Structure 1
Amino acid sequence: MSDDKMLARIAALLRQAEGTDNAHEAEAFMAAAQRLATATSIDLAVARSHADQRTKAQTPVQRTITIGNAGARGLRTYVQLFVLIAGANDVKCDIASNSTFVYAYGFAEDIDASHALYASLVTQMVKASEAYIATGDHRPTPTITARINFQLAFGARIGKRLAEAREQARQEATKSRTSQPGTAIALRD
């Protein structure tokens, strides 16, 4: 399956996660998207390990991901979310001192998958934090503090789930008897 088709499939799962009001459904769609992204990354790692020479598509790249405008409150929560997603997709990050952008380093398809997951999850995070703030359950904590704490916790929870989904996909790839041994070799490197 081509990278574009795989990204479209992941994006469709993310749209389903965004479109539901049921938290369990959203988590299931998000986990499926992460498993697919991880499995694709593993498949790509196998292909890379068999290539004699690196092509342009196999060369790691650096991209700048804009997080928000300078002076906006809570940008570190958005950065935390992106960094956790990126880490689950083998993308390394450097963060601007004012948290307005992130330099992402990795393979283009891994950065694309990370960005697609981030675009979906940041929308879900903002929507969920607004719903929480609207309930008033955060009082007497100031609204901005409650929003930041909620978003930090949301990011941490997503990071944990993505790590679990990634580990599950790795275990499935390494223990499957029907797959070629190249996947295990690529994961060991």
Structure 2
Amino acid sequence: MKIIVTGGPGMGKTSIIDTLKEMGYSTVPESGRNIIRNQAETCGDRLPWKDRKGFAEEMFHQAIEDFNCADRHDSLTFFDRGLPDAIGYLLLCQIPVPEAMWLAAQQYRYYEKVFITHPWKDIYINDEERKQTFEEAIKTFEVMDTLYRHLGYRVIEIPQTAVSERAGFILQEIGK
């Protein structure tokens, strides 16, 4: 079972994923941060502040690789964002989404429930890789919520509580 945790940046997704990993569950980290680090190390241009379309393509290809890698395990796997998030990023940037991405979003299906973190100003912070404002984070949340519903997923909002309680909420929702 492949389960997505999505939402705007800085809303606690990675902390939840890290907690689930500490609990012994299989997890897949957010590809965006790794792509940014890799592009910075190699002087690449596929960065969200240089080449948004290229950055989305990198996220898309990594999401397919991560999805296929998770297929090799019989376990429950939690994803810090999923393939549809690359589409959401393009929509957010008002860049046309290639038909291949829409088709892939129908082909590579995750668990029917997608867990989303609601904008939470008290925990939001910027850093070298997260340059969005809180207002942009809210817009990202809105785009992801709408997109996942459009793709036929049941979007479940994660309560704004302690990280361990948020992880427990997800586990309860999936019957674990």
TM-score in same-fold range (> 0.5): no
1 or 2, which has the higher strand percentage? Answer: 2
Q: Which of the pair has more CA radius of gyration?
A: 1
| TM-score, reference length from structure 1 | 0.27
Give the structure, 1 or 2, with the largest relative contact order (CA under 8 Å, sep 6 or more): 2
1 or 2, which has the higher helix percentage? Answer: 1
